[in-house]
Structure 1
Amino acid sequence: MTARRAPSTPPRLPGYEHVRVLGLGGFADVFLYRQLLPRRDVAVKVLLAGSLDDDVRERFQTEANLMAQLSHHPSIVTIHQAAIADDGRPYLVMEYCSRPGLADRYRVERLSVAEVLRVGVRLASAVETAHRAGILHRDIKPANVLTTDFGWPALTDFGIAATTGPGAGAATGMSIPWSPPELLAEPPAGDVRSDVYSLAATIYSLLAGRTPFEVPGGANSAQQLVARIERAPVPPIGRDDVPAALHAVLDRAMAKNPSRRYPSAVAVARALQEVEASLHLPVTALDLPDEGLREPVDAGPSAAPDPDDATRVRSVLQLDPGPAPAPAPADLDDGVTRRRPVLTFDPAPVPGVAEPTGEPDAPPTRRRVAAAVSAVVVLAAAAVLLVVTLGGRGTPGPGPASTEFTSPPQEPVAAAVPAPVGIGGTRLADGSVEVTWQNPDPQEGDAYLWGVLTATGEPELVLVDEPRAVVPAQQAGEEVCVQVSIVRADRSSSARPAQGCVP
């Protein structure tokens, strides 16, 4: 494995305070800053120092403007600002997504098919929105999908690597495990169907817990991965709960020949929606600017002859949000709560409070309904008081009163898993490096997911029981950089892995 460089020096930015490193990339580093006014945490991506000529700066500005146009999308990371630091490095100020991203989850969690389908549709909507704005992502992978504070996937890193120099393009900005064959060829060439492949490869990883052509426990060098991507069929996912229809969607989207793939990201989204429907799952809505438009509903022959009437009918129909989708579990989508029928009634008059003007006297029927409701409330309260007074005397059976007035048990909110601290190490006599770290909140059953940060792709992560690991011998004088997460017994893990380097 090739060791990676240490983080670059964070630039001094007016109005911001540097907090810590969030991640290292081949073309940029990401830092956590605190914006002072308005006060909030933000992620700042800083391009690495190098030959940044006027052409590169101009293209960087153009891309920043394009990304800003996409920031309104709920599954695309919001861009707050783009500028040039005092040391000449361009940087982007983005929303800080504090929850674990897909790269932190897919190797340590078994994501449900329902969640993966929901994430897939939302990501496909984001990719389609970018394509319609003329932007190819070129590097869709789990590490580039963050999670917002509200649990939505958020796609980031839109082709920034392509702006680092003439000819860099997709060839140097790609990540091999999720790249289609055409981007691995000489010369590399791709279009929207290349993003379709990478989108499907990312969905595959979420289901399989590994990259598509990775052999668990086998040799997975860059050359071997490229050979499999170019010639081997898509391997089985290896999960009995993944339906054949979903396998078929991924097989088509990851076809070797781009002409055999889905022609667009929205076509992938619709195919995933069909799988959701076949499994009787709530169908995830497409987040596209024109998807909210509905065809006018036929109002019947009486509305057809008069164009004015037809116009009035259309205007009313546009206010109808349409049929509600199939209900989702309460912890996944609050749509059910919004559409639940609400029983309303007029409350009984409160002594000393006058009725609203315009209706001085309530109708007798209304007064009788209010009195009846009040009587029911008083009787229910008396029943509860009687149960409390009797305490343990007798064995009361289940009844409407206990069901109505007993709150459902609340699940405890799990505390966030911290990241390891104090990463350090010692270079041993044989050239290997022993890396150690500390657990700031040790608990029974804790384990550690660690890996060496490499120049290409993601680190190969290994789960260990002790806060130490040994990295094989490196080239003389080469730094060793690692990332480490704490994994609890319930499989929850650090929101952000810690990173550190050993000289």
Structure 2
Amino acid sequence: MSARREPSVPPRIGGYEYSELLGMGGFADVFRYTQQLPHRSVAVKVLLAGSLSDEVRERFRTEADLMARLSHHPSIVTIYHADVATDGRPFLVMEYCARPNLGKRYRTERMGVPEVLRIGVRLACAVETAHQAGILHRDIKPANVLVTDFGWPALTDFGIAATTGWSSAAAVGMSIPWSPPELLAENPVGGVQSDVYSLAATIYSLLAGRSPFEVPDARNNAADLIGRIEGAALATTGRSDVPASLQAVLARAMHRTPAGRFHSALALARALQQVEIELLLPPTALDLPLDVITDLRPPGTGPGAGDAGDELEPANQATRLHPIQSVSPEGRAEGRAEDLAEGLAGRVDARFAQTGAPQPQRGQAALPAVRVPAPFPASRAAPVGAPRPVGAPRPGKRGRVAVAAVAGVVVVGALVGVARAVSGSLGSDPGTAAVRTTEPSGSGTPSAAPLLAVPTPTDLLGVVAVDGSAVFTWVNPEPLAGDRYLWGVAVARTDTVMAVVDAPTVTITPEIPGTPVCLEVAIVRADRRASTEPAVGCTS
């Protein structure tokens, strides 16, 4: 084994004062400097004097350019400056992240599933941003994910990045434990799905405390790892708190062939959000432009791809909810749904976050949506940011207050008094509503038995059909003759406009194609009493 080399001498850089060594790599060392104006700590990556070949210099310049193009993203390290020191060594001045990187953390601590899911979604958005810019990272691994003072992951080290059109090149400097099989072949070929694999392998490592094909108490040299990556099945993380759905997401993202994986980093982010929803966690916001989030076409389709059928409906196409006439059990037409719904005092102050698994593609069956518990436990509901209006200024890079760009999962508080409000709107006294029994009481007058509460609909499901419409169904747990249903599309911070329907199903056309739709629904009895607490659910 060769002896560990000594760190290089930190160069003199005008306006910066050297503080300490942060790390050493094959081609560069990283130091912490103090910038004088503005006064702050920065990380400075300096090429080694013995690595100043034309190829390495060009790769270094490419890294500086790529990171500068991407560093506006909150989960990609910011580049401040690039130059050549007086001794001839090129250097990059970057954001300084004081916390241990994920390469150190996953080996020394047990990271919680909620934190790993948040990290996974944020990194997936960073990778998707790079891909949207035509850039492949090619070396995603825990050690290349720094952690900011606010706990956000920050992807770094684009030193061997390539364009998304890259198809074959030498696999220089790639890290075997997190590399997909196609990049370990004699003639490596890679693309977007190669980065998806490495990202999933990184997430796996944070959960398992080891790289995906590392076997405890066994040989784990390069040849062993390559053999397992190319031929072995992915083992589980070995943790009882990792749900089977998360294991399935990682297994798909790390499929042996690129075609078997998620087609994009965004699709992986949506799948991780689905796991968050399953665990009743607030879904992590997607840090992506709205047009990227709402464009659900698979790569190579849509306008300009030769298939006009894949064009999405115009974003300004208004939602059209057709009026539904209700019919009483006796067969007579009832009044307007608005009259029946009038007086509902409990309204949803819904706060939305981005959500959704990969949407059904052209010709595929609709995907099952998240099953939202009814009622949604208020004690588990965590408020999340409201959506940013289209055209409004985006939040700062690391104000780190994530604002949702697309309406998604509704976090619902308890809606008390709905039955009382409905009764009041129909002229009865909700405080004295009771069922008169035929059994005489001791006083010789009929006794009053308290009304049983109208239950909340259960199994509220929303699925996205192939044509883009949202189809909701639910179950009446205690059906009675004459039962009908109040429903309305839940919109953040607005009163839900309710309509009435006789059957437990509603079909809605989203206002913006591909965005999640949330529905509020309550049971209404023949005597006009309604569910004390409506159910609320969303499409994925």
The answer, yes or no, to whether TM exceeds 0.5 is yes
Match of 1:77 in 2: 77
Alignment partner for residue 324 of structure 1, among 352, 370, 378? 352
1:217 CA drift (Å): 2.0
Q: Distance in 1 between matches of 2:205 and 2:293?
A: 34
How many pairs are equivalent?
Answer: 316
Judged with a 3 Å threshold, the aligned counterparts in structure 2 of structure 1 residues 287 and 45 are, in CA distance, closer, same or farther, namely same
1:221 CA drift (Å): 1.0
Of 124-133 and 79-88, the range deviating more from structure 2: 79-88
Contact 2:137 2:161 in 1 (8 A): no
Q: Per the alignment, in what secondary structure is the counterpart of residue 143 of structure 2? A: helix
Q: Distance in 2 between matches of 1:276 and 1:58?
A: 42
Q: Per the alignment, in what secondary structure is the counterpart of residue 106 of structure 1? A: helix
Judged with a 3 Å threshold, the aligned counterparts in structure 2 of structure 1 residues 297 and 3 are, in CA distance, closer, same or farther, namely farther
Deviations 1:26-48 (A, max 9, x none): 22111101111111100011122
1:173 CA drift (Å): 1.5
Q: Per the alignment, in what secondary structure is the counterpart of residue 252 of structure 2? A: helix
Contact 2:122 2:153 in 1 (8 A): yes
Deviations 1:20-74 (A, max 9, x none): 1101112211110111111110001112224645565455334422211111100
Alignment of 1:50-69 (within 5 A): 50=50, 52=52, 57-58=57-58, 60-69=60-69
Match of 1:115 in 2: 115
Match of 2:201 in 1: 201
Match of 2:156 in 1: 156
Judged with a 3 Å threshold, the aligned counterparts in structure 2 of structure 1 residues 335 and 84 are, in CA distance, closer, same or farther, namely closer
Deviations 1:284-319 (A, max 9, x none): 1111123588855847689xxxxxxxxxxxxxxxxx
Match of 2:42 in 1: 42
Contact 1:42 1:96 in 2 (8 A): yes
Judged with a 3 Å threshold, the aligned counterparts in structure 2 of structure 1 residues 42 and 334 are, in CA distance, closer, same or farther, namely closer
Match of 1:410 in 2: none
Alignment of 1:13-28 (within 5 A): 13-28=13-28
Contact 1:162 1:173 in 2 (8 A): no
Contact 1:131 1:192 in 2 (8 A): yes
Q: TM-score, normalised by structure 1?
A: 0.58
Match of 1:179 in 2: 179
Match of 1:88 in 2: 88
1:174 CA drift (Å): 0.6
More helix by share: 1
Contact 2:66 2:158 in 1 (8 A): no
1:144 CA drift (Å): 0.5
Q: Per the alignment, in what secondary structure is the counterpart of residue 171 of structure 1? A: coil
Q: Is 2:227 the counterpart of 1:227? A: yes
Contact 2:60 2:159 in 1 (8 A): no
Match of 1:280 in 2: 280
Judged with a 3 Å threshold, the aligned counterparts in structure 2 of structure 1 residues 172 and 197 are, in CA distance, closer, same or farther, namely same
Q: Distance in 2 between matches of 1:10 and 1:251?
A: 43
Judged with a 3 Å threshold, the aligned counterparts in structure 2 of structure 1 residues 232 and 291 are, in CA distance, closer, same or farther, namely same
Match of 1:315 in 2: none
Contact 2:139 2:174 in 1 (8 A): yes
Q: Distance in 2 between matches of 1:87 and 1:157?
A: 23
1:77 CA drift (Å): 0.3
Q: Per the alignment, in what secondary structure is the counterpart of residue 233 of structure 2? A: coil
1:252 CA drift (Å): 1.0
Question: RMSD between aligned alpha carbons?
Answer: 3.2
1:15 CA drift (Å): 1.0
* Amino acid of the structure 2 residue aligned with 1:324: F
Q: Distance in 1 between matches of 2:161 and 2:277?
A: 38
Judged with a 3 Å threshold, the aligned counterparts in structure 2 of structure 1 residues 236 and 174 are, in CA distance, closer, same or farther, namely same
Deviations 1:81-132 (A, max 9, x none): 1111222222110000012221121122111111111100000000010111
1:212 CA drift (Å): 0.6
1:160 CA drift (Å): 4.5
* Amino acid of the structure 2 residue aligned with 1:41: S
Match of 1:443 in 2: none
Alignment of 1:27-426 (within 5 A): 27-50=27-50, 52=52, 57-58=57-58, 60-160=60-160, 171-290=171-290, 298=318, 323-325=351-353, 327=382
Deviations 1:409-439 (A, max 9, x none): xxxxxxxxxxxxxxxxxxxxxxxxxxxxxxx
Deviations 1:304-348 (A, max 9, x none): xxxxxxxxxxxxxxxxx9843452699xx9789xx99xxxxxxxx
Q: TM-score, normalised by structure 2?
A: 0.54
Q: Distance in 1 between matches of 2:56 and 2:109?
A: 40
Contact 2:135 2:161 in 1 (8 A): no
Judged with a 3 Å threshold, the aligned counterparts in structure 2 of structure 1 residues 182 and 287 are, in CA distance, closer, same or farther, namely same
Q: Per the alignment, in what secondary structure is the counterpart of residue 172 of structure 1? A: coil
Q: Distance in 1 between matches of 2:292 and 2:255?
A: 31
Judged with a 3 Å threshold, the aligned counterparts in structure 2 of structure 1 residues 38 and 46 are, in CA distance, closer, same or farther, namely same
Q: Per the alignment, in what secondary structure is the counterpart of residue 277 of structure 1? A: helix
Contact 1:161 1:172 in 2 (8 A): no
Q: Distance in 2 between matches of 1:207 and 1:257?
A: 23
Judged with a 3 Å threshold, the aligned counterparts in structure 2 of structure 1 residues 199 and 328 are, in CA distance, closer, same or farther, namely farther
* Amino acid of the structure 1 residue aligned with 2:203: I
Q: Distance in 2 between matches of 1:194 and 1:335?
A: 28
* Amino acid of the structure 1 residue aligned with 2:243: P
* Amino acid of the structure 2 residue aligned with 1:26: G
Q: Per the alignment, in what secondary structure is the counterpart of residue 290 of structure 2? A: coil
Q: Per the alignment, in what secondary structure is the counterpart of residue 116 of structure 1? A: helix
- Structure with more relative contact order (C-alpha pairs < 8 Å, separation 6 or more): 1
Q: Distance in 2 between matches of 1:233 and 1:111?
A: 24
Contact 1:327 1:335 in 2 (8 A): no
1:279 CA drift (Å): 1.5
Match of 1:421 in 2: none
Q: Distance in 1 between matches of 2:254 and 2:321?
A: 49
Q: Identity, % of aligned pairs? A: 67
Q: Distance in 2 between matches of 1:261 and 1:335?
A: 28
Q: Distance in 2 between matches of 1:144 and 1:224?
A: 23
